[in-house]
Structure 1
Amino acid sequence: MRAVDVASTRDRLLAAARSVVEEHGYGGASVAAISVAAGVANGTLYRHFGSKAELFVEVFRDVCGREVDAMRAAVEQVGQDGRPDPVERVLAPLDVFARRALQNRTLAWALLAEPVDALVDEVRLEYRRTYRDLLVGLLADAVDAGALPPQDAGLTAAALVGAVGEALVGPVSPRAEPASGTDDSLLSGLRDVCRRATGAPPRGPDRLPQGDGDRR
């Protein structure tokens, strides 16, 4: 088989796996379902990946990498008028992450909390650290600018990542209880929680930034 054919088949399997996870979650992403979506025989998957877990390590890296890109883009969009608000730069990536999760609940459940193989869970934890590290720098910048009180940026960042993730687990769960409010009210409330956690001074009602709300 030519190298280009191998790469093409591998890419089809990755795209198919992601599509199946988006629709059915990790638990519903069987080898058979992925193979059908990719248009290949079941055994083909094992010629490109040692196991289903290895395939999903790559799928999770791709999807989580897109989340990081969207969060960084949200930061860059703050203050394009030349006067960036240091606190808004901390809140913007959290807003975007939460909004994107609510717009694709099945995928968000797989990324955040669905039981997965140990190899996949390692990637999940790796990217939680990446989210935290992004916030550490932003928090340190805000403290240096006098927009936030002195604090342990690493501790605050870890707390923010944990709070946002935990707050979203219920709403994106396949067994979620009926929502008591709209997605926008949840996002607004979560934003208030994050603002208070940073020690930022209170302010009037925030207009939620739209950010990159589409998962692609």
Structure 2
Amino acid sequence: MAYRATARTEATRLAHRERLLDAARQLLAEGGYPAASVSALARRAGVATGSVYNHFASKQELLAAVFRHVASHELEAVREAVRVRDGAREQLRALVEVFSYRALSSPRTAWALLAEPVDPLVEEERLGYRRGYHALAGTIIATGIRMGELPQQDVELSAAAVIGAVGEALLGPLSPVGEGAGAEAEPVVEALTALCLRAVGARPA
């Protein structure tokens, strides 16, 4: 009986934590990190403010957990899109297109994940997030070289250049689809995808 009570308690705790993280993801999409205050998070999740600290020791730890939760969701969506494609060209296309369209559909979230000034604890999570994309691009490029689809090149450098180009083109101050820029998303994503494919030496379709 005691074991069942403990299991129920743990299940409830995990459910509350998940609800807090989902609420934080919504707030992040609406207003970035300033919107994800402890009080706002508690209100959105329907819990007492003090109970937030039953799950997170500090606001910094909360924001790091929020980043990790949102970033893992986004990265997994891109990985899944890559997994269902065949060949380096189509896999790299999937990476760029899916990342781009997801970022453009929720620009506030993309800004929070990639560029918004953050606490050092969150910045550490951000580095891990960027490394995840770098590793995914590197795997695609390395496999393409091994299979004869792509020319020999510095895999680490090419992967970093592709990920950097996508982030800058979508979120940088000179982005044609940035705030107030007014460009249509689809032609920009098509051009960006073509640029990345040419950069790694993918053959024309």
| 2:29/2:108 contact within 8 Å kept | yes
Name the counterpart of 2:145: 143
Distance in 2 between the 1:4 and 1:149 partners? 51
Aligned-residue CA RMSD (Å): 2.0
Name the counterpart of 2:202: 200
Name the counterpart of 2:120: 118
Map Cα deviations across residues 29-74 of structure 1 (whole Å, 9 max, x no partner).
1111111101122222122211122112222222221222222221
Q: List structure 1 runs of 4+ shifted beyond 6 angstroms.
A: none
Unaligned runs of 5+ in 1: 79-83, 204-216
1:176 aligns to 2:183 (yes or no): no
Distance in 1 between the 2:202 and 2:170 partners? 22
Map Cα deviations across residues 148-189 of structure 1 (whole Å, 9 max, x no partner).
1100111100111111111111489xx82232x211011011
Letter of the 1:130 partner, please give it: G
Distance in 2 between the 1:27 and 1:38 partners? 17
2:57 to 27, 50, 56: 50
| 1:139/1:157 contact within 8 Å kept | yes
Tell me whether 122-131 or 61-70 shows the greater mean CA deviation.
Answer: 61-70
**Within 5 Å, which residues of 2 pair with 1:1-216?**
2-78=9-85, 84-170=86-172, 176-179=179-182, 181-203=183-205
Letter of the 1:184 partner, please give it: E
| 2:21/2:69 contact within 8 Å kept | no
Identity %: 45
Map Cα deviations across residues 72-109 of structure 1 (whole Å, 9 max, x no partner).
2212222xxxxx33222222112111110011111111
| 2:28/2:112 contact within 8 Å kept | yes
Equivalenced residue count is 195
Unaligned runs of 5+ in 2: 1-5
Distance in 2 between the 1:8 and 1:90 partners? 36
| 1:98/1:164 contact within 8 Å kept | yes
Letter of the 1:86 partner, please give it: A
Q: 1:3 and 1:145, CA in 2 relative to 1: closer, same or farther beyond 3 A?
A: closer
Higher relative contact order (CA 8 A, sep 6+): 1
User: Matched residue of 1:147: which SS?
Assistant: coil
| 1:70/1:93 contact within 8 Å kept | no
TM-score with structure 1 setting the length? 0.83
The Cα of 1:121 is off from its aligned counterpart by 1.0
User: Matched residue of 1:149: which SS?
Assistant: coil
Distance in 2 between the 1:93 and 1:99 partners? 10
Name the counterpart of 2:3: none
